[in-house]
Structure 1
Amino acid sequence: MPGTTAFWRDPFLPHVESRRACHSRACYKPDSHPTFSIGAVDAGGSIFTGSKDGKVALGIGSLVLVPAGCVHACNPLPGTPWSYQMLHLDAQWLQAHAPALDGDTAAVLHCSPLYAQFCAMNALLFSTASAAEKDAALLAFLGACTGARADLLPSERKPLPQQLAPVLEALQAQPSASLRQLAEAAGLSPYQLIRAFRATTGMTPHAFQLNAHVNRARSGLQAGTALAQLAHELGFADQSHLQRVFKAHAGITPGRYRGQDS
């Protein structure tokens, strides 16, 4: 059975986006999002990396809470498809409405009632219900999550070393800065920078740059920017290069993400 993917967005609820994937075999590179993400496994199995417990096996009914900026990956078991749902919430909106959920490390929950509530809430998002009904169901689910999240251990995220602060500033000012430029900003050799950056963020500087480009591409695609223009603005060699990198991180082509491909 071929895999299918569906996205839900609503201009009246700009703080939330949802995705449903069925019989997927897509694999993802480790990445991070500017949003707070909640995933649920509907069929098959998966291995999640990014929590304080290292690699965690996920099965039907497992829920994963991933804070904004947390490097993670979630891929199906070898040779088998899986089905899942994924919710992305604006980080500032979450802070205002469910601040207790916004920890520093990903968490895996195995709670059947909570999974059932997530499925019902997400089905409502994809339905023709009013925006007010959808927002109320979302807030009710987040309230239930808060109670479950309170039982988890506190974060173990490492603080950002002061030496790497200029590197992140350089990446903000010049997203496509070279490794040499970033190493000079930190006063380190390129090899020392790679080791220190990966130990802190979970990514090499290059992987961090690609991930940031993909997140910018998501925003551009939602805004209707042409793919060729995005490739040029983000510093990719061409449109095909952006398509390959986007699919490696998002598990879907830019066109399907925007909803233009069948």
Structure 2
Amino acid sequence: MTATPDPIFWCDARLPHVELRKVADGRQVCYAPHSHREWSLGAITAGCSTFDYRGQRHYMKAGDLVLINPDWVHNCNPIDNQPWSYLMLYVDTHWLTRLRHDLDQLPTPAWQDLATATLDDPGLYQGFCELADTLLDPDRELLAKQDRLVDYLTHLLARVAAAPSPAPVKVPPRIGELAAYLDQHCTDDLSLDALCQQAGCSPGYLIRAFRQAFGLTPHAYLVNRRIQLGRQQLRQGLPIAEAALNAGFSDQPHFQRTFKRLVAATPNQYRRQTSSVGASDS
């Protein structure tokens, strides 16, 4: 039996605002609901999959694009174990906000969510594949990668800029404050009682209101933040055990299981690739 190729993670210390993921056999990756701090763009390169995004299920096929706003809960998974493959680009939200503002698509340099969730556009799909090839090519110069990235995103943003921004989710102030508290204390050992006291509400209200606002329970939100922190640690080249501890996990096996469930790759697969690309040039 032919071994399933590992997912490819690309990043470059000279381009810290972008990261690329390439998966050749999506049957081997199953995601739990999760979110990213970055804005994300994906392309189905073969086969088909489901795309669950903020309460809606989309059925995606080869040639389709998905656009994922920062902190919007989602997951993509195979259909009946059918083969599929994809590319995913993660773009730093602050960097993309500045680009959108420079393009006169935002009145101020403050992030606004994009309404478009999926696109069936052969030209933009082909352009994304060419962008991915450029980023993954070790022989391409830095300027070539930067040019291709900005040029492609400029065309993509022009395509979706006309769509109105989605109505913002109404987050009760104390629930928003609690989310900010969890962001700051994601590595702490917290209890539901402590969170209820922090927010000044009952457990039932807290969990219901938090899920409505963020698509995750407070615990799932906390774990998601810990994995995001763990990814940053691994990308910096820290050992897995140290990254697990710094991210708030009590032991390495728990970190590894959770990382694979949310990132659909092992910490070692992620660390081995992202911590080495571009290191010799920095």
C-alpha displacement at 1:260, in angstroms?
6.2
1:198 to partner: Cα distance = 0.1
Q: In structure 1, what residue type is equivalent to 2:33?
A: P
Alignment of 1:29-48 (within 5 A): 29-48=32-51
Equivalent of residue 161 in structure 2, options 142, 150, 153: 150
Q: TM-score, normalised by structure 2?
A: 0.87
Which letter maps to 1:167?
L
Q: What does residue range 182-193 of structure 1 map to in structure 2 within 5 Å?
A: 182-193=195-206
1:199 aligns with 2:202: no
Name the SS for the 1:182 alignment partner. helix
Deviations 1:65-119 (A, max 9, x none): 1111111111111222310001011111101113449525561111011100000
Give the number of the structure with larger relative contact order, counting CA–CA contacts within 8 Å between residues 6 or more apart. 2
Structure 1 unaligned residues grouped into runs of 5+: none
Per-residue CA deviation, residues 189-247 of structure 1 (Å, 9 max, x unaligned), is 11211100000000000100010000000000011122112222233231000000000
Residue 133 of structure 1 aligns with which residue? Answer: 144
| Residue in structure 2 matching 1:250, options 239, 257, 263 | 263
Q: Aligned in 2, Cα 1:79/1:163: closer, same or farther, shift over 3 Å?
A: same
Q: What residue in structure 2 maps to residue 120 of structure 1?
A: 130
Identify the residue that residue 27 of structure 1 maps to in structure 2: 30
Find the aligned partners of 1:227 and 1:156 in 2 and give their Cα distance: 40
Q: SS of 2:20's equivalent?
A: strand
Closer, same or farther: CA 135–260 of 1 in aligned 2, 3 Å: closer
Q: Provide the secondary structure at the position in 2 that maps to 1:31.
A: coil
Q: Distance in 1 between matches of 2:146 and 2:64?
A: 23
**Which one-letter code corresponds to 1:246 in the other structure?**
F
Aligned to 1:15: 17
Aligned to 1:14, what secondary structure does the other structure show? strand
Counterpart for residue 60 of structure 2: 58
Amino acid at match of 1:121: L
Paired letter, 1:49: D
What percent identity do the matched residue pairs reach?
Answer: 35
Match of 2:71, SS state, is coil
Q: Which runs of 4+ in 1 moved over 6 A?
A: none
Contact 1:105–1:157, Cα closer than 8 Å, also in 2:
no
Q: Which of residues 193, 201, 211 in structure 2 aligns to 1:180?
A: 193
Q: Which runs of 5+ in 2 are unaligned?
A: 106-110, 275-282
Classify 1:219/1:187 alpha carbon distance in 2 versus 1 (closer, same or farther; 3 Å). same
Q: Partner amino acid for 1:124?
A: T
> What do the CA deviations read for 1:118-163 (whole angstroms, capped 9, x no partner)?
0011101111211111111111111111122134353033132112
| SS across alignment from 1:48 | strand
Q: Which residue, out of 223, 248, 253, partners 1:210?
A: 223
Match of 1:138, as an amino acid? L
Q: Contact 2:20–2:88 at 8 Å: present in 1 too?
A: yes
Question: TM-score w.r.t. structure 1 length?
Answer: 0.93
The answer to whether the Cα contact below 8 Å between 1:194 and 1:205 also exists between their aligned partners in 2 is yes
Which letter does structure 2 place at the counterpart of 1:257?
Y
Is 157-166 or 77-86 further displaced after alignment? 157-166
In the TM superposition, residue 48 of structure 1 has moved relative to its aligned partner by 0.8
Matched, 1:223 2:226: no
Quick check: 1:98 aligned with 2:96?
no
C-alpha RMSD over aligned residues: 1.9
Moved more, 129-138 or 95-104: 95-104
**Letter paired with 2:207:** I
1:108 equivalent in alignment to 2:121: no
Alpha-carbon distance in structure 1 between the residues aligned to 2:116 and 2:220: 20
Distance 1:247 1:191, change over 3 A: same
Following the alignment from structure 2 to structure 1, what is the Cα–Cα distance between the partners of residues 257 and 61? 29
